[in-house]
Amino acid sequence: MFPYLETLRGDRNGDYESLKGRRWDVVIDNATNNRKWIETAAEALKDSVEQFIFVSSRSAYSDVSRVPMTADAPTWTFETAGVPIDQDRLPYGLGKAEMERIAQRIMPGRTTILRPGLIIGPGDETDRFTYWPVRIDRGGEVLAPGDGTDPIQIIDVRDFTDFTVKLAEDATLGEFNCVGPRTPRPLAELLYGIRAVTTTETSFTWVPREFLARHGVRPYQEMPVWRPPVDGSQGFARFDLTPEVEAGLTFRSLADTATATLEYHYSRPTERQQNFRSGLSPDRETEVLSAWHAQNG
């Protein structure tokens, strides 16, 4: 990928021989939900690095009911998650929180913890944001959840990368939330903003969350990026990003993100373009819209 850079080979399950006797200013660890990986990496590098950046997740928070959310909010523990301490495979949020603690224990005073929300933009293969630009670009009547006022905070992968590099360059330690924009964006603003970069005729039909729930349409899965601020989720997309902005977090325009996402999507193989991993299928969307119109005339 970067032929001019030195490549060191190893195995995160235990082979760190290639790292011995070396020193680095910073390590960025993208490990997923694997406690062994973070522990063995931190132990192998604890005498060799000045800063250890661990990519955690917004899911590490055990309570997202507070408004606004800040980095000192409680994270999952075995007790709060109701999980035995010797359980091998952990729920995602608990796993991330536990890995944060492992890194901080092994490298006290040298860790930077990043808690991104939904990472979007070019290169995303989950389609958890891509669904919206592509669906809107297809045109016609689009099923939109709620009333358009629910807050959204997500992050373009390029903004997240830039912020990570900035923290490394400045040797900034601490815990940081990585979402945007700074002021939560209402869902209607998100969808209309995406429509502004397309040329098709599109209309939105806003359907209440209660109706969607009765018809089995789940937030965040069938309706990507949308999580209503109810039932303990009031702060899920209401983060106070003052410390992050002061540390260098920036936010590119929605138009940039939507355009780049569409360009990436249309560069994918045709079969992949036609098989989304998130959102409603065209038939399912039509079914729910028909039920809504039948009820409301």
Q: Is the pLDDT of residue 56 over 80?
A: yes
**SS3 for 33?**
coil
Average pLDDT, the chain: 97
Q: Alpha helix (H) ranges present in the chain?
A: 35-45, 78-81, 92-106, 131-138, 157-169, 187-195, 209-214, 242-247, 254-266, 270-273, 282-296
- Own/partner long-range contacts of 259-268 (Cβ < 8 Å, ≥24 apart): 259/197, 260/121, 260/122, 261/120, 261/121, 261/122, 261/124, 261/129, 261/130, 261/133, 262/133, 262/134, 262/137, 262/197, 262/198, 263/122, 264/121, 264/122, 264/123, 264/124, 264/130, 265/130, 265/133, 265/134
pLDDT digits (tens, 9 = 90+) for 70-79: 999 999 999 9
Residue 207 falls inside a structural domain: yes
Residue 61 falls inside a structural domain: no
Would you tell me how many other CB atoms lie within 10 Å of the CB of residue 66?
A: 14
pLDDT digits (tens, 9 = 90+) for 243-288: 999 999 999 999 999 999 999 999 999 999 999 999 999 999 999 9
Residue 276 falls inside a structural domain: yes
Residue 28 falls inside a structural domain: no
The percent of residues above 90 in pLDDT, for the chain, comes to 94
Q: What is the mean pLDDT of residues 52-65?
A: 98
How many domains does one find in the chain? 1
Residue 91 falls inside a structural domain: no
pLDDT at 88: 83
pLDDT at 31: 72
Would you tell me how many other CB atoms lie within 10 Å of the CB of residue 166?
A: 14
| CATH code for position 214 | 3.90.25
Residue 194 falls inside a structural domain: yes
Residue with tokens 């235990």: 14
Residue 169 falls inside a structural domain: no
Note the Cα 19 to chain centre separation in Å: 30
Q: How far is CA 141 from CA 215, 220, 282, in A?
A: 18, 20, 11
Report the alpha-carbon distance of residue 190 to residue 142 in Å, rounded. Answer: 14
Instruction: Report residue 2 as tokens.
Output: 């970067």
pLDDT digits (tens, 9 = 90+) for 161-181: 999 999 999 999 999 999 999
**Structural domain containing residue 293:** 120-152+185-234+254-297
pLDDT at 207: 99
Would you tell me how many other CB atoms lie within 10 Å of the CB of residue 221?
A: 12
Q: Are 53 and 27 in contact (CB under 8 A)?
A: yes
Report the alpha-carbon distance of residue 149 to residue 35 in Å, rounded. Answer: 39
pLDDT band per the 50, 70, 90 thresholds, residue 3: confident
Note the Cα 56 to chain centre separation in Å: 10
Q: Is the pLDDT of residue 1 over 80?
A: no
Q: What is the mean pLDDT of residues 72-89?
A: 95
Burial 251-268 (b: 16+ CB within 10 A, else e): bbebeebbbbbbebbeee
Which amino acid, 91?
P
Residue 32 falls inside a structural domain: no
